[in-house]
Amino acid sequence: MKTLFSTQISSTDRPWFVVDAAGKSLGRISTLIARKLSGRDRVDFTAHIDNGAYVVIVNAAQVAVSGKKETEKIYYSHSQYLGGLKETNLTKMRAKNPAHILEHAIKGMLPKNKLQAGMLLRLRVIPGPIHQYEAQKPQILAV
């Protein structure tokens, strides 16, 4: 059977959403945002076309985790030199770079292909409550 309709996406078709992460669970909010970035919630979803939305996350420093993750969850980075593995737990990462916590979780939920970089470019993570994207008229996304 021949495909009659192929999704064409332009920059005007991408809506903007703002999400308040204060007190929300890290995993639950990350899955919702990953679906918005990849466009999986749209009726015209096509796996090989990037037709996701822009997402602005505010209060990223106040995202909640359950159990002992605050002290036992470890983020790894490597300098590419021998012995260059660095470990940072969630408490230190929250103080150092709170946006990395949500970016890391969301990146792990996006597809591992060439479309992932474009999806991550549409993700804006702000540690505090004030953002600079009011001109785009973002819709509030209830979690």
Q: What's the CA gap between 66 and 45, in Å, rounded? A: 33
- The structural domains of the chain, with segments of one domain joined by +, span 14-64+97-140
DSSP structure class, residue 40: T
pLDDT on residue 43: 86
Q: Which of 36, 33, 30, 26 is nearest to 93 (CA)?
A: 26
Decide if 54 contacts 129 (C-beta within 8 A). Answer: no
Q: Which of 106, 115, 107 is nearest to 46 (CA)?
A: 115
Q: What is the DSSP string of 45-106?
A: --TTS----EEEEE-GGG-B--TTHHHH-EEEEE-SSTT-EEEEEHHHHHHH-HHHHHHHHH
Separation of CA 115 from chain center: 14
CATH code of domain 14-64+97-140: 3.90.1180.10
The three-state secondary structure class of 21 is coil
Query: Checking DSSP bridges between strand 74-78 and strand 85-89, what pairing results, if any?
Result: antiparallel
Per-residue pLDDT of the chain (143 residues; tens, 9 = 90+): 676 666 666 655 899 999 999 999 999 999 999 999 999 999 888 888 899 999 999 999 999 999 999 999 999 999 999 999 999 999 999 999 999 999 999 999 999 999 999 999 999 999 999 999 999 999 999 88
